[in-house]
């Protein structure tokens, strides 16, 4: 029997993304964002509020990075979500983490997180129902420790955090159960044969 849960953001899994930008003073602003997704082969959309210190920094410098949080850095990733840069402007410094300027855009790459998308601001979409920061992905950098033999990111090695909005939990998914664009081939053949 199904139970009515009311109006809840019922999407699982959600990514745990670290969004970072330099503000006008060159200070690293960083936040934890779950509401983000690839929106084209070379673009990412972040559905983040305009009042965040990080959003303000992105507006100022027109560039940002998006890192994938992993199990080993869960505590600091969560801290970046708990602390607000509007009240604690030096929260990045207080975390003890490190940043290097991207080789491709005017934005910080947080070195502790193993994968980072380096983005230029493509546009900010503002409507009555939406505030989205869209970035053009200029380059992706990754630690060699999370790469597979073919030179691509290996999700099992990455141990990326997944956010659960139902129970407010963090999880990791490390079991490959199928291959995309392959698992449904038999159904496709059958459907085309009708």
8-state DSSP, 107: S
Instruction: State mean pLDDT over 2-10.
Output: 92
pTM assigned to the model: 0.94
Q: Burial level of 71, CB count in 10 A (0-12/13-18/19+)?
A: middle
For the segment 80-126, what is each residue's pLDDT rounded down to a tens digit? 999 999 999 899 999 999 999 999 999 999 999 999 999 999 999 99
73 CB neighbour count, 10 Å cutoff: 23
Q: What is the pLDDT of residue 194?
A: 65
Write down how long the chain is.
194
User: Which residue in this structure is represented by tokens 């291959």?
Assistant: 179
Is residue 105 within 8 Å of 99, Cβ to Cβ?
A: no
| Beta strand pairing call for 63-68 and 99-101 | unpaired
In the CATH hierarchy, which fold is given to the domain comprising 14-193?
Pnp Oxidase; Chain A (2.30.110)
Q: What is the pLDDT of residue 139?
A: 98
Q: Is the pLDDT of residue 181 over 70?
A: yes
pLDDT classification of 173: cutoffs 50, 70, 90: confident
């Amino acid at each position: 029997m199904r139970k009515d849960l009311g109006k809840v953001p019922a999407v699982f899994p959600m990514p745990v993304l670290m969004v970072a930008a330099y503000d006008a003073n060159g200070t690293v602003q960083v936040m934890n964002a779950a509401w983000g997704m690839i929106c084209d082969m070379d673009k990412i959309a972040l559905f983040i509020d305009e009042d965040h210190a990080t959003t303000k920094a992105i507006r100022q410098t027109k560039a940002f990075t998006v890192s994938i949080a992993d199990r080993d850095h869960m505590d600091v990733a969560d801290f970046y979500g708990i602390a607000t840069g509007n009240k604690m402007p030096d929260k990045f410094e207080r975390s003890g983490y490190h940043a290097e300027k991207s080789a491709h855009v005017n934005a910080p790459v947080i070195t502790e997180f193993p994968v980072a998308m380096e983005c230029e601001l493509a546009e900010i979409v503002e409507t009555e129902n939406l505030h989205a920061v869209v970035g053009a992905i200029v380059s992706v950098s990754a630690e060699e420790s999370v790469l597979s033999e073919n030179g691509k990111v290996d999700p099992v090695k990455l141990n990326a955090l997944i956010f659960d909005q139902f129970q407010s939990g963090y999880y990791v998914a490390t079991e490959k159960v199928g291959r995309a664009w392959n698992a449904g081939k038999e159904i496709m053949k059958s459907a085309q044969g009708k």
